[in-house]
Amino acid sequence: MAGALRHDFVRTLRTKSVLVSMAVIVVLSLGLVPLVKLATSPVPISSGGTVVAEYYSGGLYHFLAYSYNTYGQPVSGTPVNVTFFGPGAPPSSTGSTNSSGYAAWTVGGGLPSNNFSFLVTASGNELIEGTFSPSPEPGEVGFIAGDILSLVQDPANSSRSDVLFAYIGPNGTVPSMYRIYYSYGSSNSFNQMNESEMSFLGVPNSYATVFKLPQAPAGTTTTQIGAFDVNGTAVASSTYSYQVVGGPSTPPTPQQLFTSFTSSILSLVIPLMAILVAFNTYGKDRATGVLESVLARPVTRLGLGVTRYLSSLLSISVAIIISLAAMEAISQALIGKILAPEFVLYTFAALFVEAASFVGLTMLISHLLKSAGAIEWVAVGLWIVLDFFWSVIVLFGALALGVEIGSGNYLGVTIDLGFLNPAQYYGLVGEYLNGVSITSNGGGSIPISPATYGLTPLTLTVAAVLWVVVPLAGFLYLARRRD
């Protein structure tokens, strides 16, 4: 039997479908070259900003500015300009942020009796233009330009968001009298922010403080963040729909890009390769009668089926390994890094499950249809539906269930239905390992525990076993019982 397995393995590995599939994978991988070059070029920081606060005290206008990058970290050398307009207005002034991101300066002048206009710019970009009203109480904040509360990216995890609170207390003190709260909601309505109904996030310990948001639970549709004074009055608040919560996006690293591209190519090509291999190894031979020349030998139907199944899987496994090796070589050549070993391992394992499932399904179909053409087209059609039109099926399924598109429940439906599709298995494993999150229109995301949606090692293992065993069992049953 070992000889038969070897013969079938070598024969399968030499089939056009395997060779062409591997070539397609490599050629598509080479298509990454321009993308990777794009990704490795310097990308300007698109997010970040400057907050400027003003208060009047002791006959002086006091200005404090904080300039930060996409992570909320200080940015030095940012020029900040404040211009007043109108009779009696104080003169224009300029500050420049230091290495801590701060700039503090004063401008002399008495409080005017009338309102006057002002313009604040940072690095030449307008932050605010408005009408200045003299502060009723000396030392109180006169105006604030920029966002007091803003979402910044977690420097340790690009898929997570942090909260930056930038403000000043009375007379320019550190705003430690404020409390920062947050809440995650599961309805689409925006509730009035109430400190007592929110979760405590922290107390500012400087003019600009970054707070880490905890993991959002499943079904989260809104996020609210508020800064409250001792009286429970919100001095700043932000409410986000699920779609816009998250940190500013950063361009993917070349390795991330390569990993993502590799995943996309392999998850698309490997199932098709499995179908074609199973068809060439079994379906076509069965439909054309070639299989009978083997069945006439001292071998049982079960034995022949198992041998062909194993040789197909072995060939596909080798093809996956060769493809991954080719991608490793391309990765090394392009970005000087190899793919992460964990990524390679889980990619192989998950694709193996997909391949085993599609091989079993195709061989099962081979016993349900009689012509080679029908077998091939039904199997390929199955792949087209499960790989290309699955998102449409999920969409209609969600609509039928009354689930709002883009909500947390929609993500749950997507994952639940993913368990019903062997072509989605690789994606499910990836979501389990890399985390589930909702990407906002602005590029941010809220990370959610995969277990919340049933993505656990146990469920993934059960799904893998079922997707391998059920088609195989069906195929072997028919192979034994049907001509």
**Within 13 Å of residue 76, how many CA atoms lie on the same side as its CB?**
3
In our burial notation (b when 16+ CB lie closer than 10 A, e otherwise), range 149-164 reads: bbbbbbbeebbbbbbb
Which residue carries 């224009």 as its tokens?
92
Q: Does 292 bind other proteins (CB under 8 A)?
A: yes
Q: Does 337 bind other proteins (CB under 8 A)?
A: no
Nearest-approach distance from CB 371 to other proteins, in angstroms:
14
First to last CA, the chain: 22
In the bound state with other proteins, the residue whose beta carbon lies nearer, of 30 and 299, is 299
Applying CB under 8 A, what is the total number of residues that bind other proteins? 23
Q: Does 371 bind other proteins (CB under 8 A)?
A: no
In the bound state with other proteins, the residue whose beta carbon lies nearer, of 76 and 300, is 300
Given 42, 297, 341, 402, the residue binding other proteins (CB under 8 A):
297
Dihedral (Cα; 418, 423, 429, 431), 10-degree rounding: -60
- Other CB atoms closer than 10 Å to residue 173's CB: what's the count? 11
Residues 353, 468 contacting (CB under 8 angstroms): yes
Given 4, 28, 374, 393, the residue binding other proteins (CB under 8 A):
4
In the bound state with other proteins, the residue whose beta carbon lies nearer, of 112 and 303, is 303
Q: Does 301 bind other proteins (CB under 8 A)?
A: yes
Given 33, 38, 45, 290, the residue binding other proteins (CB under 8 A):
290
Q: Does 11 bind other proteins (CB under 8 A)?
A: yes
Which tokens hold the place of 223? 């996020």
Which tokens hold the place of 401? 């269930």
Q: What does the alpha-carbon distance between residue 18 and residue 174 come to, in Å, rounded to a whole number?
A: 66
Which residue carries 């990619």 as its tokens?
347
Q: What does the alpha-carbon distance between residue 360 and residue 475 come to, in Å, rounded to a whole number?
A: 6
Given 162, 285, 376, 431, the residue binding other proteins (CB under 8 A):
285
Which window, 171-179, 292-300, 336-344, 392-400, contacts other proteins (CB under 8 A)? 292-300
Q: What does the alpha-carbon distance between residue 198 and residue 311 come to, in Å, rounded to a whole number?
A: 59
Q: Which residues have CB under 8 Å from 52's CB, separation 6+?
A: 63, 64, 65, 80, 82, 120, 122, 127, 128, 144, 145, 146
In the bound state with other proteins, the residue whose beta carbon lies nearer, of 113 and 482, is 482
In the bound state with other proteins, the residue whose beta carbon lies nearer, of 298 and 402, is 298
List the one residue out of 91, 13, 77, 82 whose CA is nearest residue 54.
Answer: 82
Q: What does the alpha-carbon distance between residue 164 and residue 124 come to, in Å, rounded to a whole number?
A: 23
In the bound state with other proteins, the residue whose beta carbon lies nearer, of 294 and 326, is 294
Nearest-approach distance from CB 308 to other proteins, in angstroms:
12
Q: Does 288 bind other proteins (CB under 8 A)?
A: yes
Q: What does the alpha-carbon distance between residue 353 and residue 466 come to, in Å, rounded to a whole number?
A: 10
Site for other proteins, residues 123 to 162, rule: CB under 8 A = none
Q: Does 19 bind other proteins (CB under 8 A)?
A: no
Beta bridge partners of 239: 224
Q: Does 318 bind other proteins (CB under 8 A)?
A: no
Q: Does 191 bind other proteins (CB under 8 A)?
A: no
Angle at Cα 408 formed by Cα 405 and Cα 410, nearest 5°? 40
Which window, 74-82, 118-126, 264-272, 298-306, contacts other proteins (CB under 8 A)? 298-306
Nearest-approach distance from CB 276 to other proteins, in angstroms:
15
Nearest-approach distance from CB 377 to other proteins, in angstroms:
21
Q: Does 3 bind other proteins (CB under 8 A)?
A: yes
Q: Does 294 bind other proteins (CB under 8 A)?
A: yes
Nearest-approach distance from CB 291 to other proteins, in angstroms:
8
Q: What does the alpha-carbon distance between residue 87 and residue 238 come to, in Å, rounded to a whole number?
A: 36
Q: What does the alpha-carbon distance between residue 140 and residue 127 come to, in Å, rounded to a whole number?
A: 20
Given 7, 37, 212, 337, the residue binding other proteins (CB under 8 A):
7
Provide the pairing of β-strand 222-228 with 199-202.
unpaired
Given 233, 260, 300, 332, the residue binding other proteins (CB under 8 A):
300
Site for other proteins, residues 59 to 78, rule: CB under 8 A = none
In the bound state with other proteins, the residue whose beta carbon lies nearer, of 119 and 372, is 372
In the bound state with other proteins, the residue whose beta carbon lies nearer, of 179 and 284, is 284
Q: Which residues bind other proteins (CB under 8 A)?
A: 1-4, 7, 11, 285, 288-290, 292-301, 481-483
